[in-house]
Structures are given as C-alpha cells and as structure tokens.
Amino acid sequence: MSDPHLERAAALIGNAHGGSAPVPVVKSFFDEPTNTVSYVVHDPATREAAIIDSVLDFDPAAGRTSFASADAIIAYVKAEKLSVTWLLETHAHADHLSAAPYLKDKLGGTLAIGREIIHVQNVFGKIFNEGTDFARDGSEFDRLFEDGDSFQIGGLQAMALHVPGHTPADLAYVIGDAVFTGDTLFMPDYGTARADFPGGDSRQLFRSIRRLMALPERTRLFLCHDYKAAGRDSFAWETTVGAQRTGNVHVHQGVSEDDFVAMRDARDATLSMPKLILPSIQVNIRGGHLPEPESNGTRYLKIPLDVL
C-alpha cells in the first residue's frame, strides 16, 4: 500500500478491530422519500457524537420544508445523552437538502465538508447566477477537510479520505472500524454512483473505489443511499470491504478501469436528473442554509431553465 493516508486509515481500522481503540456506535436513519441514510456515530465512553449527511424534509410540489427527519435525530441524541461535536457532509448532495444548520442550532457541532466544495460552489454558483453575497470560498462551512486530515469524536480517531468521481468534493469518513462512503459506493448488488454531474468523472470514481477497497476486508462500510436492487425486498446500507471486493456488480475484483468507465458512462447516459437536484444543490453549496427572505418575507429558490 503506497498511499500514506490509506495506510493511516488501515491502522485506525486495525486498532479498532484489535481492541486497542474504541469501536464506534452507529445509528442509522433512513429517509425513504429520498432513499438517503443519515447516521449518528458516537464514542461509547465519552458520548461525543457526529451526525453524517442529515436530511431536511422538502415537498417540491408545495415548496414546503419541515423537520421530521432532523427531529428524529435530535430525539435520539437527547435520549442517548450524546454531545454532538461534528456535523459531517460527504459532499454537496443532489437528491436531498441538508438539515445541518437546523441541527447545529439545536445541538451544536462543527459543520465540515471537503475543501473541493469550493470547486463545486464555483461551478454551480455560475449556474444559479449567485451574487456577491456568495463568496464561493467554502466559508459557509466551519471546517474544510483536506485528504488525510485527522479529527476526533471523543476517544474515536477519525480521518477524511478524498474520493472524487461522483463529484469533485466527495469525502469518505473513516471513524474507528467504520467508513462512511457517501455516494461513492452502493450495496454490492446495486453497484456504484453516477459520475455525470458537473465535475464528475467515472475514471476518478473507479480509482476512488479501488482506494476504499484496499482497506481491510472486515472494514464496515456505511452507505448514503439504497434503492433496493432487483430481487431484494428490503432496504440495506451496511456492508464490508470484503463484500464489495467480491460481489459489487459494477466494480468487483477483476473489473478493469476501462471496462468500468465504459459501463458507467453508458449507464449514466440513460439516467434522468434527480428530481431534487436544483433545490438541493443551491442550498447544499451554502452549507444547507436557505436563501434569505426577500422584501415580502418569503424565501425563493431559483430554477435555471435549459441548463442541465
């Protein structure tokens, strides 16, 4: 393994497996309307916690936001007497709005994402014709992680791994023996994420996946979405590196980079845009903050025509 960040990640995972470091407690929250899984991860000793990829409920037909998904997380945090120190985003999601600002107001915590969000802000800032109030420098977030950056959740050692391809800014978070992959991978029977959004790259995606698959085979992988593969009756979002290596229908061992790129690009050409991409992206590049109210007290989202 010639990747020093990956070597450190493998060591973190090995320490948890070997009993010399704590194993995180992971609680999942599945939002079926957006097929999104949010997580609360905590250190069992200190009760410090991180919330990963939260969901703000949004009814696009009515233009109405609500907080049932976020409130379920708040109820769990309070019932378990947890202290939230991090609000982690794996990337600027195109399928749901982030509830991070709402959760930060209620629970506290440092809001973090990968530094490449600046690139995404610049691309979509132009698409949405954002004005001078939008700095496009990542300042809507409290912390911008670089590849290999370390952080702690109580006694849990954690780090960020840059895994671009789905978008330029995707991160995977290694926390103890668990890795939160964002949209890079899906369950083995469903495959991999699309790579055709602005700044996406199927070749980068393959290399990011291979990076994750180089981690120890017992590593627990927690995914951001599930869509129930054909023949499977229930939703699922936890797997292992070993299961992905041997069973991922798109990218198991033996699949070449060129073959993956040909498959992924052909498949992406058949996909329609996510139904919430326009509201999601313009909110999520701002760290989940909704637009400021206009003179009549109402907030508005933009719908650019004939762009995507």
Reference 277, options 183, 212, 209; nearest CA is: 183
Separation CA 85–CA 62 (nearest Å): 34
Is residue 287 assigned to a domain? no
Mean pLDDT of the chain: 96
Reference 90, options 55, 43, 47; nearest CA is: 55
Residue of 106 and 1 predicted with greater confidence: 106
User: Which residues form the domain of 225?
Assistant: 4-282
Strands of 83-88's sheet in order across: 25-31, 36-42, 48-52, 83-88, 110-114, 143-145
The answer to whether the predicted template modeling score (pTM) of the entire model surpasses 0.95 is: yes
**CATH number of the domain that 270 lies in?**
3.60.15.10
Summarize the confidence of residues 281-304 as an average pLDDT: 95
Give the pairing type, strands 178-180 and 83-88.
Answer: unpaired
Is residue 67 assigned to a domain? yes
Is residue 307 assigned to a domain? no
Is residue 289 assigned to a domain? no
Q: What is the pLDDT of residues 123-147, one digit of tens each?
A: 999 999 988 788 899 999 999 999 9
Q: Which two tokens stand for residue 169?
A: 């800014």
Q: What is the pLDDT of residues 90-132, one digit of tens each?
A: 999 999 999 999 999 999 999 999 999 999 999 999 999 988 7
The C-alpha angle with vertex 301 and arms to 298 and 307, in degrees rounded to 5, equals: 160
Say yes or no to pLDDT of 1 above 70. Answer: no
Is residue 62 assigned to a domain? yes
Q: Which helix (H) or strand (E) holds 103?
A: helix 100-107
Reference 98, options 57, 137, 126, 130; nearest CA is: 57
Q: Which helix (H) or strand (E) holds 113?
A: strand 110-114
Residues 6+ apart with CB under 8 A from 287: 98, 100, 101, 111, 113, 140, 141
Residue 90 in contact with residue 162, Cβ under 8 Å?
Answer: no
What pLDDT score does 135 carry? 87
Is residue 297 assigned to a domain? no
Separation CA 1–CA 12 (nearest Å): 15
Say yes or no to pLDDT of 265 above 80. Answer: yes
Is residue 127 assigned to a domain? yes
- What distances in angstroms separate CA 58 from CA 63, 95, 127, 300, one per listed residue? 7, 11, 22, 13
Q: What is the pLDDT of residues 10-28, one digit of tens each?
A: 999 999 999 999 999 999 9
What pLDDT score does 199 carry? 92
- Name the CA radius of gyration of the chain, rounded: 19
Say yes or no to pLDDT of 308 above 80. Answer: no
Say yes or no to pLDDT of 2 above 90. Answer: no
Is residue 300 assigned to a domain? no
Number of domains in the chain: 1
Say yes or no to pLDDT of 244 above 80. Answer: yes
